[in-house]
Amino acid sequence: MASENLAKLRGEVYDEILEFFSSDRLEAEQWCKRRVRGLGYISPEEAMQSEEGLLRLRTLLGRLQHGIPT
């Protein structure tokens, strides 16, 4: 994936994270630094470094929004 497309996807996923946390930027940023079981115990920040990680993060957010256990 071209770096500009990866940057666009990263921005979209970060917007989804902010939406999940009701625009509470501080809470969203803190969550992004924590290791998350649903991501294989890596942080969302780490996941955002690759297309695969971003897609996994997007899937996780969808699951969390719908109350599906991770």
Query: What integer is the mean pLDDT of 39-68?
Result: 97
Question: pTM for the complete prediction?
Answer: 0.88
> CA dist 66 to 3, 34, 62, Å?
31, 21, 6
pLDDT bucket at 51, cuts 50 / 70 / 90: very high
Stretch 8-37: mean pLDDT: 97
Partnered with residue 42 across adjacent β-strands are 36
Structure confidence at residue 1 (pLDDT): 64
Domain boundaries, the chain: 3-62
Mean pLDDT of the chain: 95
Q: What is d(CA 14, CA 61) in angstroms, rounded to the nearest whole number?
A: 11
Residue 65 vs residue 3, higher pLDDT: 65
